[in-house]
Structure 1
């Protein structure tokens, strides 16, 4: 009898243990199912290009660290018959045209068209509004539409369109220039690289970037832009892009452009500040590795020069077929720098010795 009680007690204990295990397993499955329903966010760092874009400043902008070339004296030119661009009568339309021009210069053609179409509703027969619509469509490559707008301005005559009549007539007569038409006519020269080992407080590199023009070509300097993307190397061997654009200063050596000798020169002063011990321990030291220089005309890439060459693949860009790009850059040392060249103010031309 006593043995039966022990057997029954053991069976009950086993049953309780089995039930407990089933209960624990059920709770675990329920928790796991609820966790599986949660949305997980995985952050992934995406490398972003940080090019330094240098446009040719307009005449009204102040110039920094530039020595002007003496302007030659020209004979007086007789005054032509005065033909002026007509003013926009409606103030709101005038404001919209100004905003459209700003958007066009910034490359936002969609916004420019929206502003101009709104201005056209207010002033449907204004020649400035219609001409600006032609300019925007021409830059977008919609030449048929651009020609229609220019034809409208042309039909207004000198009395109705003033100076815009002449410009529209020239557009209709000569056709529309495409940015790619300048392939082989504007290109980058060989970049010269000067590494300054004596720079205080960090590493400094001075780049000289020539922009060359073929003889007989008429080029609007405002349509030219040079973009430079710098790359650095850590002491762990990683190649990283420059993020702090304040490390680089750029300016054109001479303004306004006169293309003496067939080229104009951009000079860049790039300095990597020295890191303190703690920052260097956490993130590593940085040293100059190279750069990618891109020449664009009206937003189209005409030429590209990367050093080292593998950097071109990093930005996903190659030189167009018409301009295969220059060969290796030219490296300078202290012994072959221009006379009176001061690395502490590298944006200035050497002053002539007396």
Structure 2
């Protein structure tokens, strides 16, 4: 019992000591913590605050530029010339294609008829084409060409040709293409009439060059100069030069002059003066006439044929402008050469016949028949005997 009391008293004492130690430790920790806190409260804190301020900096004064002085090159060849930049080639204007194949066929047929001189057919074809395509530039321009060709016989049609060309110009370059400058040139220059070229277009003196006589048959070269006044513009399609050759034959002891028979001779036309523009005031046409050798049978039946001469006619738009004949008496055989005089009537009127001032009234007033001195075919009477 006493041992039990002692052990209980020892445990109590140990427990008190343990609690005291714990209390002391807590007091020690609290004091240390309080001391540390007091030390931290005594420290000075520095807080940095960023303030944004706009500062204007003055621009730096630029330094003055140095004075530029042009210095002449030592020699002209010191600086190489700049390389020229070639321009792209201009796109040429072309006639616009015809969209409708039927209209294209009608225009082609009208052009063929115009070249052949069949103006009635050309007008009909173009009328059908214009009904199908009223604003087709090819139809309008071809119609102007037809009316212009017909204006040589009826000047009133020149206004219709001008209207057709104006219609082409009204379409503009995008629609008319190459036909626009052609129509503009027609309007600018006007519709030329054959009467306007009288005195401005004439024949020069044709020259005849017989070829080598040793060549089989007979060959003659005739050069025909066509002269135009300065500033005269003549289109190649409007000018026609016709050369008619004549042959002489001996039949029944008489010399006969006849036109060269087609198929028995050959005639070749060629413009030899370059481009047909009358820049030098003259264009030269070379006509080569070839008469092949004749068979003996034909020569015996029809006589020997040989070159005799020629007649030259110049036509502008179908109207005769000038003529020339060699020998001169062949001028009587030119169809358009014999014209009535301007100082008298072409036909006798009934008043002239009734008055009796023109026709003879007595039997002996008629003139005797005279021989034809111009035509070599005529017979000349023999001289009277002394």
Give the TM-score taking structure 2 as reference length: 0.56
C-alpha spacing 1:77/1:243, structure 2 compared with 1 (3 Å): farther
C-alpha spacing 1:319/1:282, structure 2 compared with 1 (3 Å): closer
Higher RCO (CA < 8 A, seq sep 6+)? 1
Show CA shifts across 1:200-243 (max 9, x none): 32333221111222223223233322111111111131111111
CA distance in 2, matches of 1:77, 1:251: 40
2:122 to 112, 122, 126: 112
C-alpha spacing 1:319/1:305, structure 2 compared with 1 (3 Å): farther
2:296 to 277, 298, 301: 277
> CA shift at 1:140, angstroms?
0.7
Q: Gapped runs of 5+ residues in structure 2?
A: 1-85, 152-156, 341-386
Secondary structure at the counterpart of residue 161 of structure 2: helix
CA distance in 1, matches of 2:164, 2:100: 20
Is residue 234–residue 286 contact of structure 1 (8 Å, CA) maintained in 2? yes
> CA shift at 1:175, angstroms?
2.8
Matched, 1:223 2:241: no
C-alpha spacing 1:214/1:80, structure 2 compared with 1 (3 Å): farther
The farther-off stretch of 258-267 and 200-209 is 258-267
> CA shift at 1:96, angstroms?
1.3
The farther-off stretch of 254-263 and 203-212 is 254-263
1:243 to 237, 261, 271: 261
Secondary structure at the counterpart of residue 324 of structure 2: strand
- How many residue pairs match? The answer is 246
CA distance in 2, matches of 1:257, 1:244: 28
Give the TM-score taking structure 1 as reference length: 0.61
> CA shift at 1:291, angstroms?
0.8
Is residue 208–residue 266 contact of structure 1 (8 Å, CA) maintained in 2? yes
Is residue 212–residue 264 contact of structure 1 (8 Å, CA) maintained in 2? yes
In structure 1, the residue matched to 2:167 is 152
In structure 1, the residue matched to 2:108 is 98
Is residue 220–residue 289 contact of structure 2 (8 Å, CA) maintained in 1? yes
Is residue 291–residue 311 contact of structure 1 (8 Å, CA) maintained in 2? yes
C-alpha spacing 1:174/1:273, structure 2 compared with 1 (3 Å): closer
Matches within 5 A, 1:337-348: none
Which structure has the greater CA radius of gyration? 2
CA distance in 1, matches of 2:338, 2:185: 32
